[in-house]
Amino acid sequence: MTLIATLATTPKPDADQPPSPYADLSPAMTPVQALAESNRCLFCYDAPCIKACPTGIDIPAFIRSIATGNLKGAATTILSENIMGGTCGRVCPTETLCEQSCVRNRAEDRPVAIGRLQRHATDRLIDGEPAHPFPRAAATGKRVAVVGAGPAGLSCAHRLATLGHEVTVFEAKAKSGGLNEYGLAPYKMADDFAQREVAFILGVGGISVEHGRKLGADLSLDSLRADYDAVFLGVGLGSNNRLGIPGEERAGVEDATAFIERVRQAPPGQPPAVGRSVVVIGGGNTAVDAAIQAKRLGAEDVTLVYRRGRAQMGATAWEQELAQTEGVVLKTFAAPKEIGETTITFERTRLTDGRLTGTGETFTLQADMVLKAVGQKLSADALDGLQVTGGKIAVDDAYRTTLAKVWAGGDCVATGEDLTVQSVQDGKLAALAIHSHLSA
């Protein structure tokens, strides 16, 4: 077994300086760390971790391959179920998925570090292998349009390409990757990983991406249906919810997703400026990502305010704790009432029989920057003819929309949590459904 014996060389951070938002939150494992950790896996039968993974990766199999020195085999095991295994190893809330169900928790309270091992295996393949690991089947002559080059779209496109179809991906933005490129905190996707992963996925061949193409602008669902044998919509959730309170239009008030995008897309060495006192409103992972970034960019005080309690937050306990470790103050049971020039006023709330009510008591925080992270919703403008239910595109069990020849997946449908890993699974399963339809 070949083991590259490089030891950890993570530079020690300067305790007086906030870490850069662009630096890896959790550095890559060294081969020695991966060896020790992979040997903790018990190779469970019908393992609970596999069932907890939305993409169903054979986790014990890939970890065993790491332990035996078969790193390429480990990576192909992962990527065969989840072509974005590299991103998922970095950003998945493993503490509520695979690692939560790891049997090592039961007697030891410490799961196998599945996410970090997954990154270890996939990094080596994505960075080190010249050839794409998955061959393409013989050309079918079928052409599929994929709208959106995010996790769902790219996952679908990759699977269709391996099955022999020709895929054209239409993407409104200048880069592929979707939220991997524009919506995840940079410390989770350090060193331009989103683009490296996109290049790896496209390496399968048979996929062309057209940027600056937007449904409702220069594309229509009707023309796609006419020009292609099938259409997959992986359009995500395009718009942000509003607070609907006075002062929301003031300068210095911004959607957290837009802020994260600015941070992600800033030229190297020129990160965006942040306020001295930043207030983030919301309780999900986007709120936490934005708050930590603001802190790492130099904000003196960052307060994350959520109208309900810690238990109701969308951000996992691990994310909440991370925010606190990074110096973010968490305030709960407070709803925003009004945004002033450099302040924001909240009303305290309480939960009574599951119902949230205001108490009438208010308090005011200094805020020269307010970031809103109160959820996103589907931009349904260009989806004429599609049934939208509960704010999501309605699909059947095979990801088929109410329009013939149109399938959909990812955050724009209601299959599971709005997570990268779920989107990858949607894209994969929709591709198989499309393939089955095209092969019929």
Partner 1 sequence: MADLSSTIAGIRSPNPFWLASAPPTDKAYNVVRAFKAGWGGVVWKTLGEDPPVVNVSSRYGAHLDTDRRMIGFNNIELISDRPLDVNLQEIIQVKRDWPDRAMVVSLMATMTETAWAGLARRIAETGAADGLELNLGCPHGMCERGMGSAIGQVPEMVEQVTRWVKNAVNLPVIVKLTPNITNILWSAEAAKRGGADAVSLINTVNSIVAVDLDAMAPTPVVDGKGSHGGYCGPAVKPIALNMVAEIARNPETRGLPVSGIGGITTWRDAAEFLALGATNVQVCTAAMTYGFKIVEDMIGGLSNWMDEKGYRTLDELSGRAVRNVVNWNDLNMNFSTKAVIDPALCIDCGRCHIVCEDTSHQAIRIDQGEGRRLFTVVNEECVGCNLCSHVCPVPDCITMVPEQNNLPYVTWPNDARNPMRVPEAAAE
Return the number of the residue (1 or 311) whose C-beta is nearest partner 1: 1
Return the number of the residue (58 or 338) whose C-beta is nearest partner 1: 58
Query: What is the number of residues in the chain?
Result: 440
Return the number of the residue (113 or 369) whose C-beta is nearest partner 1: 113
Q: Answer yes or no whether residue 46 interacts with partner 1 by CB under 8 A.
A: yes
Bridge partners of 306, per DSSP, are 332
**212: CB partners within 8 A, 6+ apart:** 171, 172, 173, 174
The span from the CA of 367 to the CA of 392, in Å, is 34
The span from the CA of 265 to the CA of 271, in Å, is 9
**Selected range binding partner 1 among 35-43, 130-138, 329-337, 352-360, rule: CB under 8 A:** 35-43
Q: How far is the CB of 107 from partner 1 (least distance, A)?
A: 5
Q: Which of 10, 68, 208, 359 binds partner 1 (CB under 8 A)?
A: 68
Return the number of the residue (121 or 160) whose C-beta is nearest partner 1: 121
Q: Answer yes or no whether residue 38 interacts with partner 1 by CB under 8 A.
A: yes
Q: How far is the CB of 36 from partner 1 (least distance, A)?
A: 7
- Say how many CA atoms lie within 13 Å of 118 toward its Cβ: 29
**Selected range binding partner 1 among 43-51, 278-286, 384-392, 429-437, rule: CB under 8 A:** 43-51
Residue in the structure block whose two tokens are 């590259």: 4
Q: How far is the CB of 48 from partner 1 (least distance, A)?
A: 6
Collapsing DSSP to helix, strand or coil, 80 comes out as: helix
Q: How far is the CB of 187 from partner 1 (least distance, A)?
A: 31
Is residue 146 within 8 Å of 172, Cβ to Cβ?
no
Q: Which of 29, 34, 47, 334 binds partner 1 (CB under 8 A)?
A: 47
In this structure, the number of other CB atoms found within 10 A of the CB of residue 10 comes to: 10
Question: Binders of partner 1: how many residues, by CB under 8 A?
Answer: 17
Is residue 155 within 8 Å of 84, Cβ to Cβ?
yes
> 35, 89, 40: which is closest to 67 by C-alpha?
35
Token output for 325? 């470790």
Q: Answer yes or no whether residue 72 interacts with partner 1 by CB under 8 A.
A: no
Is residue 396 within 8 Å of 124, Cβ to Cβ?
no
Return the number of the residue (14 or 45) whose C-beta is nearest partner 1: 45
Q: How far is the CB of 123 from partner 1 (least distance, A)?
A: 20
Token output for 203? 């390496």
Q: How far is the CB of 320 from partner 1 (least distance, A)?
A: 24
Q: Answer yes or no whether residue 36 interacts with partner 1 by CB under 8 A.
A: yes
**Selected range binding partner 1 among 33-41, 318-326, 366-374, 400-408, rule: CB under 8 A:** 33-41
Q: Which of 5, 9, 16, 45 binds partner 1 (CB under 8 A)?
A: 45
Q: Which of 8, 10, 39, 389 binds partner 1 (CB under 8 A)?
A: 39
Q: Answer yes or no whether residue 48 interacts with partner 1 by CB under 8 A.
A: yes
The span from the CA of 20 to the CA of 262, in Å, is 15
Q: Answer yes or no whether residue 44 interacts with partner 1 by CB under 8 A.
A: yes
Q: How far is the CB of 112 from partner 1 (least distance, A)?
A: 12
Site for partner 1 in 92-121 (CB under 8 A): 103-104, 106-107
Q: How far is the CB of 173 from partner 1 (least distance, A)?
A: 42
Q: Answer yes or no whether residue 249 interacts with partner 1 by CB under 8 A.
A: no
Is residue 338 within 8 Å of 345, Cβ to Cβ?
yes
Is residue 38 within 8 Å of 66, Cβ to Cβ?
yes
Q: How far is the CB of 32 from partner 1 (least distance, A)?
A: 9
The span from the CA of 349 to the CA of 330, in Å, is 15
Q: How far is the CB of 58 from partner 1 (least distance, A)?
A: 14
The torsion angles phi and psi of 44, rounded to 5 degrees, stand at -60, 150
The torsion angles phi and psi of 427, rounded to 5 degrees, stand at -60, -40
- Alpha helices, DSSP H, located in 82-166: 85-91, 98-101, 104-108, 114-128, 151-162
H-run or E-run covering 358: strand 355-366
Q: Which of 29, 50, 57, 67 binds partner 1 (CB under 8 A)?
A: 67
Return the number of the residue (7 or 15) whose C-beta is nearest partner 1: 7
Q: Which parts of this chain interact with partner 1 (CB under 8 A)?
A: 35-36, 38-39, 42-48, 67-68, 103-104, 106-107
